[in-house]
Amino acid sequence: MNPFLTIYTKDYVKKTGMRPDKNGVLQEFKDPLNESYKNYLQLSCEEPPAEPPKEDADIYLKKHIEKYPKHGKLHFQTPVNNEVVKNAFVYNGRTVYQVDYCDLQKDLEYKEAERKRNMYRLPDDWDIPLTTQKYSYRNPLVINSRAMERTPPIAIPNNLDPDDNIREILKVTTGKTEYGGVIDKLGRIIMKNELHGKRTYL
């Protein structure tokens, strides 16, 4: 008998157990928290057409009315206006920036006007007859093919930048160090006039 065993070790025999395998319930959805906010119905006016798991809202409504005719008579006697539903989705999905700073109603009116304008747009190859504007004003591209090109920006000279020629004429030495004003100038004179000797190599 080991005399160094404790009373706990003597009284309680060590037992080893195996951890059971995980048998948790599998989730039906990958993201159960956000699954309830997903929309599986798509309006018929939206592009591209609905593909599984999404379904066309009008087709689904017909199936629902056939399955529950009382609901159809009570709620869906008037056809659903897709534009109203679409605007409701946009209005309810506004961001904090749009709520605080943007006028969503004016934006919707502008987009609606653009949509109606594009509905009656002439084809690009349509032959437009001579108008008063075209008769009175010639196309500038006919006269100059580069008339509509943007002119390159012109750098404006800065009067505050020092001009070396003017400083030399006025003999201004402000801002010059001893190395730049004396040693460098003397070195240039020596190299230019070859005071250190004529160069014998090419």
pLDDT in tens, 124-162: 788 777 778 777 787 888 888 888 888 888 888 777 777
42: three-class secondary structure by DSSP: strand
Number of neighbouring beta carbons within 10 Å of residue 57: 20
Token pair recorded at residue 53? 């798991």
pTM for this entry: 0.36
Q: What is the chain's mean pLDDT, rounded?
A: 79
Domain count, the chain: 1
Within a domain: residue 131?
no
Within a domain: residue 138?
no
* Segment 74-88 mean pLDDT: 80
Within a domain: residue 155?
no
What per-residue confidence (pLDDT) applies to 1?
61
* Segment 65-89 mean pLDDT: 82
Angle at the Cα of 135 from the Cα atoms of 114 and 128, rounded to 5 degrees? 45
Within a domain: residue 42?
yes
60 is in which domain, residue-wise? Answer: 36-80
Token pair recorded at residue 35? 């699954």
Answer yes or no: are the C-beta atoms of 42 and 53 closer than 8 Å.
no
Within a domain: residue 50?
yes
149: three-class secondary structure by DSSP: coil
What per-residue confidence (pLDDT) applies to 201?
61
What per-residue confidence (pLDDT) applies to 202?
57
Within a domain: residue 19?
no
101: three-class secondary structure by DSSP: helix
- Residue bearing the bigger pLDDT, 109 or 159: 109
Distances (CA, A) of 30 to 24, 27, 35, 41, 94: 15, 7, 8, 19, 26
Element (DSSP H or E) covering residue 55: strand 55-56
The gap between the terminal CA atoms of the chain, to the nearest Å, is 104
Distance CA 42, CA 58 (A): 9
Within a domain: residue 96?
no
Distance CA 74, CA 81 (A): 17
Peptide linkage before 129 cis (omega within 30 of 0): no
Within a domain: residue 64?
yes
Distances (CA, A) of 48 to 42, 53, 114, 134, 141: 10, 14, 20, 40, 40
Element (DSSP H or E) covering residue 83: helix 82-92
Peptide linkage before 157 cis (omega within 30 of 0): no
User: What are the residues facing 82 on neighbouring strands?
Assistant: none
Number of neighbouring beta carbons within 10 Å of residue 31: 10
Going by pLDDT thresholds of 50, 70 and 90, the confidence category of residue 122 is confident
1: three-class secondary structure by DSSP: coil
